[in-house]
């Protein structure tokens, strides 16, 4: 199993685990809430019943007992008679009406029932009233959830959100530190490679110059071929040195740069593949040619690999809203939709002798060094693929100030 399949499995496993924990916690709290709600209703019923007893009995001991039961009710409750008048209040914040009374000290005091009315409305929404007949009239006992029950209802949501925020922050912090670690390894390796290649390349160049003097270079094509290969090696070393430091971007006509590379590349692959080019011939973008050529090389090599037998590779340049589009299309085997992002991850390959590094490097060069964007624009298995690069277009006023 490759590391990406493994990573995905872990992701699914952890996600399933998180869902189990979250639903377990929600279900358990729901169970607790139901238990408490049932017990609160029973208490409210006992309270209502005790009130009835107050009016029905004149045995003092019994009444003391009944009062004790009545006082033990922990949920806020209101008793209303059939004319809508408040008979009893329990567990409510009566200071809210006192404040009003103090303010109206000098006036003819009327009992302020607005607070009780609003509480009553809330209670009506929460529970069915308990009915009792006292002294021949119908009383309704309304009650609402205790503060504890209300808090318990929201507790798991608050708890789970806090945990989710914590995990998300931790994940972001770890993944960005891992990325910057990878970055350092990557940049260090590139710099070291360029450095190590530098010395033998310079001496090879010097040897070639010597050989040219010693042998008849015009008659002997071997020396010219050797020189070509050493120059190629120089380009490779140059590319590595460029990704090891921040490259300079110069303004170039995109079409010309792509055309130059295509001319170089197309003669080096089988003639069963046809190359085409089209689109905007004037739009400019900030490019570092050695790195941008490397981007094109990776995309074109992949396109060639994707084509079995005959096929067409087409590069189209477009411009819109200050952006340059470079679409590289092929008539190859295509990429399944589920792999549109995965192809850019290092190590992902479907080729026997591939490293799976081409596209991850390409993405890095486009996004980190050219401030652009690259993605699979569309692809269909068995039909072909289009990769799109988006770069910022250089406008005329930028050119004069640059």
Which positions touch ligand ATP (CB under 6 A)?
Answer: 298, 302-303, 306, 330, 332-335, 343, 348-351, 354-360, 385
Which of Mg ion, ligand ATP, none does 50 bind, CB closer than 5 to 8 A by kind? none
Nearest to 330 by CA among 387, 246, 254: 387
Which of Mg ion, ligand ATP, none does 143 bind, CB closer than 5 to 8 A by kind? none
Closest distance to Mg ion from the beta carbon of 160 (Å): 43
Structure tokens at 145: 């959830």
- Nearest to Mg ion of 148, 357 (CB atom): 357
Helix (H, G, I), strand (E, B) or coil at 145: coil
- Find the Cα–Cα–Cα–Cα dihedral 288, 293, 298, 302, rounded to 10°: 140
Kindly list the residues in this chain that would bind Mg ion in the complex (CB under 5 A). 302, 358
Closest distance to Mg ion from the beta carbon of 349 (Å): 8
State how far the Cα of 177 lies from the Cα of 367, in Å rounded to an integer: 19
Closest distance to Mg ion from the beta carbon of 352 (Å): 13
- Nearest to Mg ion of 50, 302 (CB atom): 302
Q: How would you classify residue 390: left for phi > 0, otherwise alpha for psi between -120 and 50, otherwise beta? A: beta
Which of Mg ion, ligand ATP, none does 356 bind, CB closer than 5 to 8 A by kind? ligand ATP
- Nearest to ligand ATP of 34, 337 (CB atom): 337
State how far the Cα of 56 lies from the Cα of 46, in Å rounded to an integer: 15
State how far the Cα of 357 lies from the Cα of 350, in Å rounded to an integer: 12
- Nearest to Mg ion of 146, 362 (CB atom): 362
Structure tokens at 245: 């430091």
Closest distance to Mg ion from the beta carbon of 29 (Å): 52
State how far the Cα of 289 lies from the Cα of 250, in Å rounded to an integer: 8
Closest distance to ligand ATP from the beta carbon of 306 (Å): 3
Closest distance to ligand ATP from the beta carbon of 374 (Å): 11
Q: Under a CB-based contact definition with an 8 Å cutoff, are residues 87 and 81 in contact?
A: yes
- Nearest to ligand ATP of 50, 385 (CB atom): 385
Nearest to 38 by CA among 11, 6, 75: 75
- Nearest to ligand ATP of 122, 380 (CB atom): 380
Closest distance to Mg ion from the beta carbon of 323 (Å): 26
Residue 325 backbone phi and psi in degrees, to 5: -110, 130
Closest distance to ligand ATP from the beta carbon of 358 (Å): 3
Closest distance to Mg ion from the beta carbon of 26 (Å): 47
Closest distance to ligand ATP from the beta carbon of 243 (Å): 15
Which of Mg ion, ligand ATP, none does 350 bind, CB closer than 5 to 8 A by kind? ligand ATP
Which of Mg ion, ligand ATP, none does 333 bind, CB closer than 5 to 8 A by kind? ligand ATP
Q: Under a CB-based contact definition with an 8 Å cutoff, are residues 334 and 379 in contact?
A: yes
Q: Under a CB-based contact definition with an 8 Å cutoff, are residues 363 and 374 in contact?
A: yes
**Helices in 322-395 by DSSP H: which ranges?**
358-364
Which of Mg ion, ligand ATP, none does 254 bind, CB closer than 5 to 8 A by kind? none
Residues in the chain, total: 402
Q: How would you classify residue 118: left for phi > 0, otherwise alpha for psi between -120 and 50, otherwise beta? A: alpha
- Nearest to ligand ATP of 129, 384 (CB atom): 384
Which residue's CB comes closest to Mg ion? 358
- Nearest to ligand ATP of 279, 358 (CB atom): 358
State how far the Cα of 333 lies from the Cα of 305, in Å rounded to an integer: 9
- Nearest to Mg ion of 358, 372 (CB atom): 358
Q: Under a CB-based contact definition with an 8 Å cutoff, are residues 51 and 182 in contact?
A: no
- Nearest to Mg ion of 101, 357 (CB atom): 357
Which residue's CB comes closest to ligand ATP? 358
Burial 361-398 (b: 16+ CB within 10 A, else e): bbbbbbeebbebebbbbbbeeeebbbbbbbbbbbeeee
């Amino acid at each position: 199993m490759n590391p990406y399949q493994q990573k995905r499995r872990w992701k699914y496993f952890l996600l399933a685990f998180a869902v189990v924990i979250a639903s377990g916690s929600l279900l358990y709290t729901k169970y607790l809430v139901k238990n408490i709600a049932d017990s609160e209703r029973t208490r409210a019923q006992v309270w209502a019943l005790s009130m009835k007893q107050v009016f029905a009995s004149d045995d003092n001991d019994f009444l003391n007992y009944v009062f004790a039961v009545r006082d033990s009710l922990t949920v806020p409750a209101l008793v209303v008679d059939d004319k809508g008048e408040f008979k009893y209040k329990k567990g409510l914040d009566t200071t809210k009406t006192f404040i009003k009374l103090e303010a109206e000290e000098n006036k003819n005091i009327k009992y302020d029932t607005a607070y009780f009315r609003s509480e009553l409305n809330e209670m009506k929404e929460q529970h069915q009233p308990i009915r009792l007949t006292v002294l021949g009239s119908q009383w309704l006992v309304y009650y609402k959830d205790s503060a504890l029950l209300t808090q318990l209802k929201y507790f798991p949501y608050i708890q789970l959100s806090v945990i989710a925020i914590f995990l998300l922050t931790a994940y972001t912090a770890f993944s960005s530190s891992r990325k910057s670690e990878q970055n350092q390894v990557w940049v260090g390796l590139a710099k070291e490679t360029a450095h190590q290649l530098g010395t033998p390349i310079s001496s090879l160049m010097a040897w070639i110059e010597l050989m040219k003097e010693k042998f008849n270079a015009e008659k002997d094509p071997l020396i010219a071929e050797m020189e070509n290969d050493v120059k190629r090696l120089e380009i490779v070393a140059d590319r590595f040195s460029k990704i090891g430091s921040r490259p300079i971007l110069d303004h170039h006509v995109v079409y010309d740069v792509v055309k130059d590379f295509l001319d170089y590349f197309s003669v080096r692959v089988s003639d069963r593949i046809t190359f085409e080019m089209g689109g905007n011939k004037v739009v400019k973008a900030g490019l570092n040619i050695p790195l941008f050529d490397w981007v094109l090389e990776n995309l074109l090599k992949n396109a060639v690999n994707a084509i079995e037998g005959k096929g067409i590779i087409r590069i189209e340049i477009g411009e819109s809203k200050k952006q340059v589009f470079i679409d590289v299309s092929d008539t190859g085997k295509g990429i399944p939709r589920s792999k549109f992002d995965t192809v850019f991850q290092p190590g992902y390959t479907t080729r026997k002798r591939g490293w799976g590094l081409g596209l991850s490097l390409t993405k890095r060069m486009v996004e980190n060094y050219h401030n652009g964007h690259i993605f699979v624009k569309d692809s269909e298995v068995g039909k072909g693929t289009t990769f799109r690069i988006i770069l910022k277009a250089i406008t005329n006023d930028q050119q004069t100030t640059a």
